[in-house]
């Protein structure tokens, strides 16, 4: 996601950047190294146009979803900016492109949290044939999931493969020839998912209404 500042950025761009930063810090339980760049001159903003909004952050906790890094970009945005009231409204739904990095630790924090453990339970029952998921590791392009059955005295480790299909995330267990689609909002379209240096990288786009 390219990120380029313009020379004639004025007070209005700076004002909007600060406003978005306040909003994101309010919405997130935790967010660090937050950077925002609005690529538009003051005149363009007054005319209702923003060429690009770029946001990047690290160590994010948004409603229990924990990410190591996220980068977002939206282009050619139409706005209604009232200078006298310092009020900004977006005229249409914004399409954002984003890239999320998930470490092993972040993945565990999500799936073992009280808010999102229902996804863990679906995975455990549907493709692992077990009653309890005990641990997850990222290893050379796949997930290693350690499970335990209620009646078993030893752990089992299953190899789980991750891919995208029709804009969704699919997990598969070749040992049992089973797969599952991870439930996500319909407005989110997953373009690609891959492993990089023991991180899961998710590239996607979504419409948002602000």
17: nearest Cα among 40, 33, 48: 40
Q: How much of the chain, in percent, has pLDDT values that exceed 90?
A: 55
Residue with tokens 């909003």: 23
Whole-structure pTM value:
0.85
pLDDT band of 6, cuts 50, 70, 90:
very low
pLDDT at 29: 94
- Residue 81, pLDDT > 60, answer yes
Centre a 10 Å sphere on the Cβ of residue 165 and count the other Cβ atoms it contains.
Answer: 11
Residue with tokens 């565990």: 108
**First-to-final CA distance of the chain:** 22
Residue-wise pLDDT tens digits, 11-23: 888 888 988 899 8
Can you tell me the distance from the alpha carbon of 102 to that of 66, in angstroms, rounded to the nearest whole number? 8
pLDDT at 1: 42
Can you tell me the distance from the alpha carbon of 92 to that of 54, in angstroms, rounded to the nearest whole number? 18
Quick one: tokens of 182?
A: 């991870």
**Which has more confidence, 9 or 203?**
203
Can you tell me the distance from the alpha carbon of 151 to that of 134, in angstroms, rounded to the nearest whole number? 15
- Residue 56, pLDDT > 90, answer yes
Least confident of 21-30, 90-99, 117-126, 189-198: 90-99
pLDDT at 20: 87
- What DSSP line would sit under the chain, residue for residue? ------TT--HHHHHHHHHHHHHHHHH-SEEEEEEEEEE--HHHHHTTEEEEEEEEEEEEEETTEEEEEEEEEEEEEEEEEETTTTEEEESSPEEEEEEEEE-HHHHHHHHTSTTTHHHHHHHHHHTS--SEEEEEEEETTEEEEEEE-TT-SS-EEEEEEEEEETTEEEEEETTTTEEEEEP--TTEEEEEEEEETTEEEEEEEEEE--
- Residue 208, pLDDT > 60, answer yes
Can you tell me the distance from the alpha carbon of 194 to that of 204, in angstroms, rounded to the nearest whole number? 12
């Amino acid at each position: 996601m390219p990120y380029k500042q313009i020379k004639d950025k004025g007070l209005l761009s700076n004002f909007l950047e600060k406003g978005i930063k306040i909003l994101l810090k309010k919405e997130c339980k935790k967010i660090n190294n937050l950077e925002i760049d609005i690529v538009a001159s003051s005149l363009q903003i007054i005319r209702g146009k923003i060429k690009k909004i770029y946001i990047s952050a690290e160590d994010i906790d948004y409603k229990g979803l924990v990410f190591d890094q996220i980068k977002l970009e939206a282009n050619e945005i139409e706005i209604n900016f009232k200078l006298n009231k310092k009020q900004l409204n977006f005229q249409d739904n914004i399409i954002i492109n984003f890239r999320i990095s998930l470490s092993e630790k972040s993945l565990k924090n999500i799936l073992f949290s009280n808010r999102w453990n229902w996804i863990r339970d679906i995975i455990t029952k549907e493709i692992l044939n077990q009653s309890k998921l005990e641990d997850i590791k990222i290893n050379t392009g796949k997930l290693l999931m350690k499970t335990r059955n209620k009646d078993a005295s030893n752990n089992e480790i299953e190899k789980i493969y991750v891919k995208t299909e029709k804009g969704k995330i699919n997990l598969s267990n070749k040992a049992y020839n089973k797969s599952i689609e991870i439930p996500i909002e319909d407005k989110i379209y997953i373009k690609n998912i891959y492993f990089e240096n023991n991180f899961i990288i998710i590239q996607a786009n979504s419409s948002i209404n602000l």
